[in-house]
Amino acid sequence: MLDSYDKLSSYQMIMILVLSKLVDAYTYLFIILSYPGNQDIWIMVILSFIYILIIYIPIMFLSNRYKGLSLIDIGEVLTGKIGGKILSLMLSLLFLYNSIISLALIGYFLGNSTLPDTPFFIVTGVAIICCSYSAYKGLSIHGRLSEIIAPITLLSVIVFTLLNLGNMDFKELLPILKTSTFKGMNYGALSTASIFYQGILLSLCVPQLKKVEDINKIFIYSIAIITVFYVIIITTTFAVFGVRQAQHQSLPYLATVQQISLLNFIERIEVIAVFNWLMGVFINFSLNVYFLSKSICYGLNFKNEKVLIIPSLVLIFIINNFTPLKKSLYVIKILSYEIRFPIYIIFILVIPLMLLIMYFIRGKNKEVKSE
């Protein structure tokens, strides 16, 4: 399904996954509104690491069993060619959803930060033009960009925290586990794990890895890095604003960075945060558009996915500009756990679990040796 020459190193793959997830933290940081809804959310994030590993057991088992094959290829092996095409078309719906909300986030973030007077259609139109090139170029350019942008983004998070130490009150993180319940912590961790779709991206990129045997290492390292930096971002935000005030910020982390002022010399440093976010969300948006066109191409027997990129971008632009999504209220609603959970859980757990059951019923006789 994917171009054989478009290979990614393990490091590039890790950076792609990390950057695609940290975009969420930079933008709306919805996780601070989830259970348990108090100062213990950072502990819940650590707990979600375990749930992610559990939820992804079916996908990781199949990816290890059929080394070198993508999730779609595995689906085709287990269900036949028609089954593989149906799975591909279903995945295209996931990437259409991700592309829509990625573009909506660009308009939402820039409209609330640097370009409040710029019409939504201009912001989203420019974003589409900028992202179309990387979507055309495929996975390799996303890998090269991510290995540059992701380390800068991670380093900036550490620097922002250090520069904000004077504004932080660590008493806001206390008391630890006093007001949280076991049920609430686990529910929050499960909800957080259930919208971690980066494992799907990894499963689709397997044929493009230079070292297919590194898939487990890539997966675990990615989750670990994401978890650590989410904890840093959340604790910094809470320590600066307090839990309740942070939860009422429209862009919590950006507001946290805006508090930095060092001897009237280092001010307006949020420009760096906006740049990091902008690069990250553009990469994430174009990556989802790339997989959207790939999925449709395979599912409908198109010869070249590139012919579908422009129509896909036009569709995404129309949906974002001629529906209520151009209003921030609806952007927040479509990003809520109530909407994202049923969408993501189908692809993260339900479909892989069905494929795993089929593997044990009949798939052991359908082993495929990858090159």
pLDDT in tens, 206-261: 999 999 999 999 999 999 999 999 999 999 999 999 999 999 888 899 889 888 87
Structure-token pair, residue 189:
């961790």
Q: What is the pLDDT of residue 367?
A: 57
The pLDDT of residue 363 is above 70: no
pLDDT in tens, 124-175: 888 898 888 888 888 889 999 999 999 999 999 999 999 999 899 999 999 9
pLDDT in tens, 59-105: 999 999 998 999 999 999 999 999 999 999 999 999 999 999 888 88
64: left (phi over 0), alpha (psi -120 to 50) or beta: alpha
Sign of CA dihedral 303, 304, 307, 311: positive
Q: What is the pLDDT of residue 218?
A: 97
Domains of the chain: 10-357 (1.20.1740.10)
Element holding 125 (H helix, E strand)? helix 120-137
Under 8 Å between Cβ of 169 and 237 = no
The pLDDT of residue 4 is above 60: no
* CB neighbour list of residue 60: distance below 8 Å, 6 or more residues apart: 199, 215, 216, 219
pLDDT in tens, 25-43: 877 788 888 888 899 999 9
Q: What is the pLDDT of residue 353?
A: 95
CA angle at 87 for the pair 294 and 197, rounded to the nearest 5°? 75
Cα first-last separation, the chain:
15
Residue 178 DSSP SS3: coil
Q: What is the pLDDT of residue 266?
A: 57
**pTM for the full model?**
0.91
Q: What is the pLDDT of residue 41?
A: 95
Q: What is the pLDDT of residue 34?
A: 85
Q: What is the pLDDT of residue 133?
A: 86
- Give the integer Cα–Cα distance in Å for 12 and 358: 32
For the beta carbon of residue 113, count every other beta carbon within 10 angstroms. 20
> Residue for token digits 């540059």?
148
- Provide the percentage of residues in the chain whose pLDDT is more than 90: 56
Under 8 Å between Cβ of 229 and 157 = yes
